[in-house]
Each structure stands twice: as structure tokens, then as C-alpha cells.
Amino acid sequence: MKRKAYRATGVKRVDWEGLSRGREGQAVQVGFDVGKESVLTVARWGDGRFERPWLVKNPGEIGILVDLLASVARERALRLAMEPTGTYGDVLRQALSDVGLPLERVSAKAAHDYAEIFDGVPSQHDGKDAAVVAELAAAGKSTAWPYETPSETEREMAYHVDWMDAQQRQGVMWLGRLEGLTARHWPEAREWLRLSSGTLLRALAKYGGPANLRADAGAAGQLAQWGGPWLEAATIRGLLQSARESMGVRQSAIDVRRMRGYAEQALWARGEIASSKRRLKRLACGSAVIQRQAKAVGVATACVLWVHLGDPSSYHCGEAYRKAMGLNLKERSSGMYQGKLKISKRGFGQVRRWLYFAALRLIVAGPVGRWYQRKRARDGDKAKRAVIGVMRKLALALYAVGAEGKAFEPGRLFPSCRLAVRRGGGTREASRR
């Protein structure tokens, strides 16, 4: 390599005619390393030599770079490649697509693993990363990555998925704060209603605590109106009695205001989640894949999978689909962890979060619940490992449901067990011999 091989040159100062003199007819591979404020671009010649990186301001100089690459493509074979970069690379991808320059994708894992092979040093930095991407593209280790403009339905679905997830996380935060306040000022309330129930949240948002509730002569009717037919009269009487006899810390005016404000925020997040779920249900009506997966994990989770992972049929197998979720296992050896298998957690965290909720619903009862209880017992009462085990099996089942059109059957998640039908119509689980 040259001395200071990764010292960058501004793209405006690139003299392509001088660089290409004497290399007529040679193909060029170009690798990009995209950052928030700049794009490092490295050109590789067909004979294996590299040019110094070109520094391109993102997005201010993207047009200059694209014009330069378009002129190169008119005179010789040109191959362009980059790693997946979230949204920072979308401007470059769109600009290249607009002028008809095809782009290829190099796996971030492949680039990371190749770093030490490339120059004998395991370190990574922007200039070197771009050169590694160009080298891997030249070796045929890249795949086509056309820029596709999403439809309006896909755009709206992505918006509601993101909004729903954000409000769900905000709602959990406000409920956590409310839990601390109710434990201090009205600990008996949670004996009658869950803190996440709409009735209790509305009561806290209106009254701010037990004192104002017991002072309202029409509180019973108000609670009955909020709860509807699902709220029993005994629960209403118990909640009112707890407000009258509460041993909680007496509230000041600011404590009441605080309780009301937190409850209002939790209620608002709850309403936004419900609204997004209703809209997603309508948007998903035209997708057979989402409808099939929704029977297993619900419409909301199926939409999350579609937005972040796309059509499962575009993956060559269920393991690849699961790997895109970040649920593939890798060995971790560091400090107290020696040779232990952990999930990679690559890809989008939203996918794993909503799949986790789906797994929790599955383990409530049935064959999945029985497997979960046995796995938890074997692991020393470690519940999270058992839930992740269900998630990994569920990921493969979702691929079969979405890509192959199979019906979802919870009992088939664990092939090591079989279900035998009892005479009374129930099921019992037996170990396979």
C-alpha cells in the first residue's frame, strides 16, 4: 500500500483524466462508506490497485460524485457497491438510480471479517472500509441492490409501524412512573385493577388520586361508564372502598397534578397505539402474506415484519429469515462469558421486540406453554432464555407461513414433541421415542 494510503482527496479535486491515463479499457470497482456527514469513496482498478479515497460531503456533493461516476461508466465497465447503512445512504442510492447506475450490496459481516485479510490489520476506518467493499465487489461477493421507491401503502404502513412502536415504548415509560406514584399514594388501587387498564388510567387522569375520587358523589357511575359491561360492580365498590381507606401518602396539589399528567400521557399513547393498529389492519387487507402471518402473531406484528424484513419469499430459507431478525446464534467468549451462545441481535430491534410480545402470548397455554415451562425449569428458572427459544422457533414458522403458504399450528413449533388426542377431546403431550 502507498504511504498514507487512506488520506482522502475532496471529490471536487479529483482529476479523473489524469488517474485513468494509461489504464484504458480497465474495469473499475468503486466502494462507498457512507456516514452521516460524508461519503468515503474508493476506486479499485481491474489490476488490483487502489486510488486514494475521495471525500464527498453528504448530501451537498453527492451530485458531483454521481456526475463523475456517470462519465466513468460511459467509457469503461463500472461496478458500484456499498454496505447497508440505514437511511444515511438513501440519498446516494436514489441519485445513482436516477442516472441509471446499478448499485450492489456487500454484507457488513463480510466486510468486517475481511478487514484483516485485506491488509493484515484488523482495525477498521472509513477509508479502509470503502476499499474493502470495492475489493469484495470485485471478488463477486456482492448482490444487486436496486433502489425501489415504496408505494404509498408501504410508506403509510412504515409510518404507522414506527409510530405504534414509539408510542408503545412511551406508554411503558409512563406506566412505569405511574406504578411508583400509585405505590406511594394509592397502593390499594392495583389490587382491583391493573395499572394498564383504561378505567384506572382514566380515573387517575380525572381525579389524580384517591382523595378526589372519594370526594366525587358520582364516581361510581363514572367508573361504570368507563368500564362498560366488562367492569363488574364488585370491582367498582372495591376500588371506591380502597380510595376511602387508602393508607397511601397524602398528596399535595403538585402530587395530584403529577399523577394526572402521567396518566394523561399514558392514555394518549394507548389511544395512538390503538389508532395505528386499526389503520394497519386496513392497510394489510391487500397482502396475503401479512394475513397468513397475522393468524400466528397478530396484524400489528405481521406488519412490523413486513416493513423491516420485506416479503419472506425473498429469503432462500427460514434460517436466513431468522438471521435477518437477529435471532441467529453466535458464540460469545469474553470475560465471564466463555463459549456461550447468544443471539446476534443484528437488524432491527423493533422486529425482535414485537416478536417477543408475540412469544409471550403463545406461552400462556397450550403446547408452547408446556414446552416453555419445561425449558425454564431446565435452565434454572431463567425465563428469558425460554422465551427466546420460542421466538427462534416462531421465526421459522413465520417463514413457512408467509413464504410457503402453510397453516400455522403452535404444536408444530417443537418437532421433538408430539400431541396425542385424548378421548375427552383434549390433548396430551408425549415425548418422541
Domain ranges of the chain: 9-144, 153-282, 287-323+350-431
- pLDDT of 278: 98
The architecture in CATH of the region 153-282 reads Orthogonal Bundle (1.10)
185: its cell numbers: 399514594
Q: Is the pLDDT of residue 77 over 80?
A: yes
H or E, element range at 321:
helix 318-324
Determine phi and psi for 300, rounding to 5 degrees: -60, -50
Statement: residue 194 has pLDDT above 60 = yes
Report the pLDDT averaged over residues 374-395.
Answer: 92
Span 416-429, average pLDDT: 46
Do 9-144 and 153-282 show the same overall fold?
A: no
Fold of 9-144: Nucleotidyltransferase; domain 5 (3.30.420)
| Position 429 confidence tier, pLDDT thresholds 50, 70, 90 | very low
- Write the single-letter amino acid at 19: L
Measured in whole angstroms, how far is the alpha carbon of residue 254 from the centre of its chain? 38
60-69, 98-107, 224-233, 323-332, range with the lowest pLDDT: 323-332
CA end-to-end span of the chain: 61
Q: In this structure, are residues 41 and 32 in contact, taking their beta carbons and an 8 Å threshold?
A: yes
Q: Specify the 3-state DSSP secondary structure of 416.
A: coil
The Cα-based distances of 48 to 29, 33, 45, 312, 373 in angstroms read 10, 19, 5, 37, 57
Which pTM was predicted?
A: 0.85
pLDDT (average), residues 351-371: 92
pLDDT tens-place string over residues 314-336: 999 999 999 999 999 987 666 66
Separation of alpha carbons 176 and 194, rounded Å: 12
> How far, in Å, are 12, 54, 55, 104, 122 from residue 127 at the CA level?
17, 9, 9, 18, 14
